[in-house]
Structure 1
Amino acid sequence: MAPDDPTKLVLAFAGDIHFEDYLAPVARDPHGLAALRALWPDADLRMANLETAITERGTRQVKAFTFRAPESALTTLKNAGLGALSMANNHGVDFGPQGLADTLAAISRSPVPVVGIGADERSAFAPRIVKADGVTIALLAASQVQEETLARFSASPSSGGIASAVPTTRLVAAVRAARAQADVVIVFLHWGIDYQECADARSKQTATELEAAGADVIVGAHSHRVGGAGWLGRSYVAYGLGNFVWWRSVEPDSRTGILRLTIDPTIARQPPAQRTKAIVQQADWQPLLIGRDGIPARPAAADATRLHTLWEQAGACSGVASAP
C-alpha cells in the first residue's frame, strides 16, 4: 500500500531511542539510521520515543544512567523516516537546567515535531497537530515513571520539564481538549515496570482513563520489553514497544518491532459520538531484532514467527482484546 492511499491511513510506532556508547557517532551522521526507512515504507506517520537530552552541555544528574545526544540527532531521525517524537521520559532532562534549555532550543528548530516536554506545563502538554491523508491527528505524550526526572523536572505552570502523568488529571484534560480539535488523538506514554511484559495495574488504569477521555491510540515504552497490545473499548493500546535504537543487543533486550495500525479515514473524520466502529481497523506487529550495532533489522523467518508469537502472548496477560 502506498503512503498516499486515500482509503487507508497507516500509523507506525516504535520504542525507545538513544545515542549512547557505540551509537554516539550515528547521531552525528545525518544518514546514520537511513536503513530504518526500509522497515516502514508504507506508513503515513512514524513515531517513537527519544530517550535522551539534546545537549552537549549541562550538569550530569545523579542517577544510574544519563543519556544525551547532539542536536544533529534530530536530523538523523528525520532521515530515518520519523515524523514525530516523544520526549516525555526519564532521560529527557538528564543534564539539568542547562541541558533542558539546550533541548528546548533544539526542539524549536527540529525537523521532527517533538511532544511531551516544554518551557512550562502548558507547552509540555500541548498537542502537536499533524495531517495525513486529510485526517487531523493530535499527538500528546507524558511520563508516569516515578524517578529523578519526574521528581525534579516535571513541567509546572512556571517551570520547564516533561509532561507528568502523576496524577493523570492534567493528561486527561489535555486529551479531552485535543479530542475537540482532531480526528485522531494519539497519546505516547512512558510507563510500566522495568523488564515486565505484562501491563501493571497503574498502566491499565491510566489506559482506561485515557480511553474514556477520547484517546484513539495509546502507546508506550520504558519497560525495555515488548508488552501486550490490543483494543480497549474504542481505543487501541500498546503497553510496551520495547527498545528500538539501543546500546544493548543481547536477547531478550534485543527483541523489538514496529507496531502498524491501519485506520479508515472515513471513520476517523466522523464525530466521535457518531462512530459505530473503532477507528483502528487492523493492527500488525513487525518483529525486529536489535543488532550488535544497536540498530534494529528484520530477523530470519523462523525468528520472526517466534517473536510474533511472543508478542501475541504478551497481549493475553494485559487484558486487551485481540480484535476491535
Structure 2
Amino acid sequence: MKWSRLPIALGAALALTACHTASTPPAHSATVTASRSPAGAAEITLAFAGDVQFADRTARLLSNPATAFGSISSTLSAADVAMVNLETAVTTRGTAEPKRFHFRAPVSAYDALKAAGIDVATIANNHTLDYGRVGLADTVDAAKAARFPTVGAGDNAAGAFAPWITEIRGTKIAFLGFSQVFELWTSWKATDNQAGIAMARDLPRAVAAVQAARKQADVVVVYMHWGQEGDSCPTDEARALAGDLATAGANIIVGAHAHLLLGDGRIGNTFVQYGLGNFLWRSDDAYSNDTGVLKVTLHGSAVERAELVPALISRQTGQPELARGKDATRISQKYNNLRACAALAATGSASARPGG
C-alpha cells in the first residue's frame, strides 16, 4: 500500500493519496554516490515515466479510465509518488495554435492518471497550449476539479513556476515542471500578467524557482521537457541547464521530449535522467517503443539508488507493458550504454536481469 502523506498546497496544487501494490524488480540499477541521510532515515521511492497522450489509438482507452494504463499500473502504484508528463491539452474548446501537431483529451484523462497510481503530472511541454489559453485554462481547471496535482503551467508565472510539495514520512519533496522547447516559447511563456508555461529559457526565473523550493523542501525534483526529438543524446543546451538547476539546488532532474530513452548519471550529488521517452503513446511511428519506469530511492533526503524498469509500448493499444526476457535485457543494455553521450558521472555498478 502506498503510504499516506501530508500534501502541502502551493498555487493550484492539490493532494492525492492512493493505495499501491507491489512492483516487478527492475532490470537496470545504479547506486548513486551522494551525501547520506542520518542512520535510520526512512526509505522513499519515487517513480517517473515519460510522455502520456490520449489521442488516436490511446483515445479509446478512456472509455474505461480505471484500466487505461493496463498492467504497468502496479509498478507505478508501488512508489510513494509517481510522476509523468501529460503531453496534451485537456479541453474541448479553444483555437488551434500555429503549429503542426495538436492534441487534446477529455477530463477523464485525469481519472486515468489517478487510477494508474500517478500522483502528479508536469504539463510544462509543447502541447499544453495547443488550443491556446482557453485550452490551458480548461486544462488547469480540470486538474483542480479532479483534485489532481499538476506543475509547470498556470494563470501567471507565480502559478506556473510554483512547486507541488508533499511530505512523506518526515521528508518534504517539491516537484517542479519546466520546458526548454523552443517552439512558440516566447508566446507561450508564463509572465507576471499572462497565463502560460514555466519556460526554462527564462533562466533567472527557473533558477529562482528551484532555489525557493529548496528553502521549503528537503528534496527538489525538476521534470524537464527538453532535448532534440529523435536524438538519444542530450543537447549541449540541456546539459548546461542541468548544471544550472543542480547548482540551484535540484536533487533529481528527469526529462522527456526526444521520444527516446536517454542516459542517466550524476552532476555532483544531483541525479539526472535526460529522457524517459514515450510511455502511453498515440502512434507506432514515434522513433521507439522502448520505454520504462524510472524508480529513484531516497533515504531521507539522499538519493541512494536509481533503477529503470524496462517496458515496451504495445503496438496494438499504445499501453506500456513490462518487458520480459530478451527484450528486458536488450533495453537494459541499451540504457546502460546511453550514459556515454550524456556526459554525466557514472552512478555506480549497473546490472541487467529479466524484468519479471
8 Å contact from structure 1 (residues 47, 83) kept in 2: yes
Q: Aligned partners of 2:179 and 2:213: how far apart in 1?
A: 18
The correspondence for 2:183, drawn from 141, 147, 170, is: 147
Classify 1:205/1:301 alpha carbon distance in 2 versus 1 (closer, same or farther; 3 Å). same
Classify 1:251/1:287 alpha carbon distance in 2 versus 1 (closer, same or farther; 3 Å). farther
Give the match for residue 92 of structure 1.
Answer: 128
State the secondary structure of the residue aligned to 2:217: coil
Q: Aligned partners of 2:62 and 2:114: how far apart in 1?
A: 11
The correspondence for 1:162, drawn from 182, 192, 197, is: 197
Deviations 1:246-295 (A, max 9, x none): 01235852011111111111xx1xxxxxxxxxx11111111111002110
| Alignment of 1:114 onto 2:137 | no
The correspondence for 2:343, drawn from 293, 297, 319, is: 319
Q: Aligned partners of 1:3 and 1:187: how far apart in 2?
A: 22
Give the match for residue 333 of structure 2.
Answer: 309
Q: Which amino acid aligns with 1:282?
A: R
Q: Which amino acid aligns with 1:284?
A: E
| Alignment of 1:19 onto 2:42 | no
| Alignment of 1:281 onto 2:316 | no
State the secondary structure of the residue aligned to 1:65: coil
Q: Aligned partners of 2:328 and 2:74: how far apart in 1?
A: 17
Q: Which amino acid aligns with 1:306?
A: R
| Alignment of 1:185 onto 2:220 | yes
Q: Aligned partners of 2:294 and 2:77: how far apart in 1?
A: 13
Give the match for residue 263 of structure 2.
Answer: 228
Q: Aligned partners of 2:247 and 2:41: how far apart in 1?
A: 29
Query: What's the CA shift for 1:130?
Result: 1.1
Q: Which has the higher contact order (CA 8 A, sep 6+)?
A: 2
Which segment is superposed worse, 78-87 or 106-115?
106-115
Query: What's the CA shift for 1:317?
Result: 1.2
Query: What's the CA shift for 1:232?
Result: 1.1
State the secondary structure of the residue aligned to 1:109: helix
Query: What's the CA shift for 1:41?
Result: 4.1
Classify 1:189/1:197 alpha carbon distance in 2 versus 1 (closer, same or farther; 3 Å). same
State the secondary structure of the residue aligned to 1:108: helix
Q: Aligned partners of 1:289 and 1:137: how far apart in 2?
A: 29
Query: What's the CA shift for 1:298?
Result: 1.3
| Alignment of 1:72 onto 2:108 | yes
Within-5 A mapping of 1:206-217: 206-217=241-252
Q: Aligned partners of 2:95 and 2:318: how far apart in 1?
A: 26
Could you say what the CA RMSD is over the residues aligned between the two structures, in angstroms? 1.6
Classify 1:129/1:22 alpha carbon distance in 2 versus 1 (closer, same or farther; 3 Å). same
Query: What's the CA shift for 1:74?
Result: 0.4
Q: Aligned partners of 1:137 and 1:28: how far apart in 2?
A: 34
Give the match for residue 276 of structure 1.
Answer: none
Within-5 A mapping of 1:289-304: 289-292=312-315, 293-304=317-328
Q: Aligned partners of 2:247 and 2:133: how far apart in 1?
A: 35
Q: Aligned partners of 1:97 and 1:84: how far apart in 2?
A: 21
| Alignment of 1:137 onto 2:173 | yes
8 Å contact from structure 1 (residues 75, 111) kept in 2: no
Q: Which amino acid aligns with 1:192?
A: G
State the number of aligned residues: 310
**Percent identity at matched positions?**
41
Give the match for residue 65 of structure 2.
Answer: 30
Question: Runs of 4+ in structure 1 displaced over 4 angstroms?
Answer: 2-6
Which segment is superposed worse, 150-159 or 211-220?
150-159
State the secondary structure of the residue aligned to 2:78: coil
Deviations 1:33-77 (A, max 9, x none): 253322234311100100000101111222111110011110111
Query: What's the CA shift for 1:105?
Result: 1.3
Q: Which amino acid aligns with 2:207?
A: V
Give the match for residue 243 of structure 1.
Answer: 278
Q: Aligned partners of 1:51 and 1:164: how far apart in 2?
A: 15
State the secondary structure of the residue aligned to 1:237: strand
Give the match for residue 48 of structure 1.
Answer: 84
State the secondary structure of the residue aligned to 1:156: coil
Deviations 1:128-173 (A, max 9, x none): 111222211111111000002x232211110101111113111100
Q: Which amino acid aligns with 1:220?
A: G
Query: What's the CA shift for 1:3?
Result: 4.7
8 Å contact from structure 1 (residues 28, 70) kept in 2: no
* Structure 1, gaps ≥5 residues long: 269-278
8 Å contact from structure 1 (residues 3, 10) kept in 2: no
The correspondence for 1:63, drawn from 82, 99, 109, is: 99
State the secondary structure of the residue aligned to 1:185: strand
Give the match for residue 274 of structure 1.
Answer: none
